[in-house]
Amino acid sequence: MKNKNESKNLLKVLIDLLWYGSLFASIILILATIAFNLSAFGLINLKTPVVSVELNHHAYRFNSQYVEARRIDSIIDDFVDSKLASELYFTASGEIEAIEQLYGIVYSKFKSLPIGAQQLGGVGYRNYADLMPVRYFSLKEIPQFVIGLLFLSFTVTAFLLIIMFSVRELFKSSVNGNSFSQENANRLKYIGFYFLLGEIVRIFISYWVNNSVARTEWVSAIRQSYNPSFNDINFALLFAGVIFLILSKVFQLGAVLKEDNDLTV
């Protein structure tokens, strides 16, 4: 009996550590995001490390000053990776500075290398203007990117905390021998709901950011836009949400059976 109680107490401690660890990580993420946004808009002077994220067919590499927007698909990969640095002709000084900061190179030395010896991942042709596989911006040029990251960080943080709190309460209830209860069924339902809602919000934010980048491009005097597809959807998150909703029904049925059994006894 003593060992059983010790095991329960240990599990409760581990659950609390997981919760407080998530809470601490969320606070750090929010503070880092706020500091990044203030630096991007020039309100504070803060040098941030280079960060890489992917948002639906786009890979973004950025610091507090510049962002590289690179498209990801088979057509782009075919010529960007195979002809990596054979025609690097940057006319805008801002692009050169952006590349130096984002890749940590000295561009003048890079240009002096013979063709074929240059290696810089993600930089493609400038004469394929209709495809624009790689674009460079000052963050002040596309504030939608900065604001989108802010909303995405807040959304991820909020849903993470809500889900982790529900998981914490779920495990604590199970440790106390009350697994099949209406409260746990509701917790599982809320976890599933937030998985589904979180993915919907992520899709809309990703579209807004990618479309903002696409609308800086003009092809034959036509302003471009980002065309969403089913590939933008993270079906794993949707599947996880559905699974939790199904589990909530199972736990709800278990709670009813347990209540009937208790009344019978």
Per-domain residue ranges for the chain? Answer: 2-38+143-264, 66-138
User: In this prediction, what percent of the chain has a pLDDT beyond 70?
Assistant: 74
Only one residue has tokens 């989108």, namely: 148
More confident residue, 126 or 223: 223
Residue 86 binned pLDDT confidence (cut-offs 50, 70, 90): very low
Mean per-residue pLDDT for 129-158? 79
Burial environment of residue 4 by CB neighbours within 10 A (0 to 12, 13 to 18, 19 or more) = exposed
SS3 62: strand
d(CA 67, CA 49): 12
Mean per-residue pLDDT for 72-79? 50
d(CA 213, CA 196): 26
> What are the angstrom distances between the C-alpha of 42 and each of 52, 67, 124?
21, 15, 30
pLDDT value for 265: 56
- Residues 241/195, Cβ–Cβ less than 8 Å: yes
pLDDT value for 164: 87
pLDDT per residue over 111-138, tens digit each? 665 554 444 444 433 333 344 567 778 8
pLDDT per residue over 12-62, tens digit each? 788 888 888 888 988 998 888 888 888 888 888 888 888 888 887 788 888
Partners of 223 in the β-ladder: 218
Mean per-residue pLDDT for 206-213? 86
pLDDT value for 82: 40
